Chains A and B, each alone.
Chain A
C-alpha cells in the first residue's frame, strides 16, 4: 500500500512520461492516457497484488487487461515505474525495433502485457477468459479490465457484457473510462451511449460510479469497494468519469488531443504544469 501523497507523485511523473513519450515520436494518444493516470496508478501501486517479475501465466496474482490499447503511453509508463522493465526504455516508444509498439502487444515480449489490444472491443472478452481460468485453477485473484467509453460502440463488448452478467463471472472488474470524447467529437454527438448505469445493471452487473476519476482518493475508494461487492456473484463495472487530457490545461475539455502529439513549445508548456517527482527517463 502506497500513501496518497506518494501516489500523487507517481501520477505527476507518469503524466510527464506520457507527454514526453508522445512528443518524442510525434505520434500517439495523450488525451485518454492523461485521463486514466489515477486509475492505473491506483491499480498498480496500491490495489493489485501483482508480480513485476513477469510471467505470462500470471497465476496467484491479480491481472489487468487494457482493452483500449491506444492509451499505451499511460500503460507503459505505469508498467515501467512499477518495475516491469527499465524506465529508460520509455524513450523507444513507437520507434523501430522497440518493445513499446504503438499499441500494446505480446509479440515483442514486453513484460506486463498479456494480450495485444488496439482494435477495439476485444479486451473484455479476453479478461473474462482469464477470469474463468482463474476460477478453474482455484486461484482467488481478481481480473481487471479497462475500456474506453467510445469503445462501447463496438458490438463485441456487449456480447462480453452479456456473458459476464449472465454467467455471473464474479472475479472480474471492468472500468469504463467515461471521458465522453472520441476521435471525431463527443460521444454524445457521434453515437450516444445512453444511460450506462441502467444498461450495465440490466445486463446483470453491479455498477459503481466515480464522479471524479481524476481524484485519486475517489478512485481508490471505488476500487476498494469493489472488493466487497465481488462476493455478490456479479461482475462489477466502475464508470470512471474522467477528463481527457487531465493535468495539461490546453489538452483538457476537447477531443482534439485524442491522438496528436505536442510540438516542442507545447511540450514545455505541459511540463511546466507537471512536477518532476521521480526523475524523468
Chain B
C-alpha cells in the first residue's frame, strides 16, 4: 500500500493551527524559525497569540515559563538542537523544576535533518529530556501522529518535550486521538519484538517484509512516548517473544534503548539489540543515505532482529 509522503513538522503546524481555533489559552513562541517549524499558519491566523522571540532560545524558554502564570499554554518552536542542549539549564530550572506547563516542540531532530550536518543534528535530546524529573517525552512517527500528539499535549498539565523531524516520510497512521504514554502495536508477531520510535517506525515496518521472507515473525510496537514508558505493553510483548530490538534516530547511549534495557533488566531479562547511532556525531548528506550509513535504517533493523533471534537460541 502506498502512503502519501508528508513531513512530521507539518503535522505539528496543522495541530497547532487547530489548537489555536479550539483553545484560547494556547500561545506560540518561535526563535526565528517560523517557516521551518510550520508555525506560519498559526501566526497568520492568531497574530496576537504568536510571539516572535528572535534568535534567543534561552529567553524564549524563560518567557514561556512565565506565560504559564495566569493560565496560558505556551508552545515553543525551534530545532531540536536549540530546544534542548542549548537551553538545558533554562528548561531544567524555569520549566521542569518549576513545574511549568510548557510544550517544547522540537523539529529537525536527529540525523534526517540532513545537509546542515552535525552541528544541527542532535542525537542526544531524548536522553537529555528524559532525565529531567517530571518531563514527558514524545517522539512521533508521521504527519498524522504528530498532529494528534500536538493537540493531545495541550490537554495535559505539565512540561512536555515533543520531538519530530524535517523530511517527508510515509503518512501511514490513522488520525486517531493521541494517547500520551500508550505504545501502539502495529503488527503482532511471536519471534522478536521491535520497539521503534519516530522515523524508525516506518523503517521497522519495511524490515518486517524481509524478516517474513526469512521466516521470522516480528511484533512491531510504536513507542510514541519514551517517558512515561508503556511498561505493561512492552513487558507483555517480550514475555511472548523472549527477545527484542530497539530502534531510534538517536544515540544508543541514553535513548529509548536504554529505557527498555532498564525495564527488561529489572523485570524480565532477555537478549536485546540496539539500533541507533553508536557514540558518533552525524554529517551532511541526504536523510536516507545518512540513515543507512549510520546503521539506523530498515536493513540495520533486519540484521539486528536476525542477530537477536539467533542469540535467543
Contact residues of A with B, CB < 8 Å?
56-59, 63, 65, 105-107, 114-119, 121-134, 136-137, 139, 155-156, 159-160, 162-163, 166
Query: Which of B48, B72, B89 has a CB less than 8 Å from the CB of A119?
Result: B89
Chain A nearest Cβ from B55, distance in angstroms:
9
Extra inter-chain contacts (16) besides given A125-B65, A129-B63, A156-B58, CB under 8 Å: A59-B70, A115-B65, A115-B69, A115-B94, A115-B98, A116-B94, A122-B58, A122-B89, A122-B90, A125-B60, A129-B62, A134-B70, A160-B59, A160-B62, A163-B63, A166-B54
Would you list 17 pairs from A and B whose C-beta atoms are within 8 A, ordered by A residue? Answer: A115-B65, A115-B98, A115-B100, A116-B98, A119-B93, A121-B58, A125-B60, A125-B63, A126-B94, A128-B59, A129-B65, A130-B66, A130-B70, A132-B63, A133-B66, A133-B70, A159-B54
With contacts A105-B98, A119-B89 known, is A124 near B62, CB below 8 A? Answer: yes
A110 CA to B92 CA in the complex, in Å? 19
A117 CA to B59 CA in the complex, in Å? 14
Chain A nearest Cβ from B252, distance in angstroms:
30
With contacts A107-B99, A117-B93, A136-B27 known, is A128 near B62, CB below 8 A? Answer: yes
Query: Which of A59, A125, A139 has a CB less than 8 Å from the CB of B66?
Result: A125
Contact residues of B with A, CB < 8 Å?
27, 48-49, 51, 53-54, 56, 58-72, 74, 89-90, 92-94, 97-100
In the complex, which residues of chain A have a beta carbon less than 8 angstroms from the beta carbon of B71? Answer: 57, 59, 133, 137
Closest to B55 in A: A159
Closest to A124 in B: B62
Closest to A121 in B: B58
Cβ–Cβ contact B93 & A130, under 8 A: no
Cβ–Cβ contact A162 & B56, under 8 A: yes
A274 CA to B61 CA in the complex, in Å? 41
A128 CA to B56 CA in the complex, in Å? 14
In the complex, which residues of chain B have a beta carbon less than 8 angstroms from the beta carbon of A65? Answer: 66
Q: B-side binding surface: helix, strand, loop or mixed?
A: helix
In the complex, which residues of chain A have a beta carbon less than 8 angstroms from the beta carbon of B59? Answer: 125, 128, 156, 159-160, 163
Cβ–Cβ contact B54 & A106, under 8 A: no
Cβ–Cβ contact B93 & A132, under 8 A: no
A243 CA to B97 CA in the complex, in Å? 32
Cβ–Cβ contact B90 & A136, under 8 A: no
A187 CA to B71 CA in the complex, in Å? 39
In the complex, which residues of chain A have a beta carbon less than 8 angstroms from the beta carbon of B92? Answer: 119
Closest to B99 in A: A106
Closest 10 CB pairs of A and B: A129-B66, A125-B62, A159-B59, A159-B56, A133-B70, A129-B63, A126-B66, A130-B66, A129-B67, A156-B58
With contacts A129-B63, A162-B56 known, is A107 near B97, CB below 8 A? Answer: yes
In the complex, which residues of chain B have a beta carbon less than 8 angstroms from the beta carbon of A122? Answer: 58, 62, 89-90, 93-94
Closest to A128 in B: B63
Cβ–Cβ contact B93 & A156, under 8 A: no
A162 CA to B49 CA in the complex, in Å? 20
Closest to B100 in A: A115
Query: Which of A116, A131, A136 has a CB less than 8 Å from the CB of B93?
Result: A116
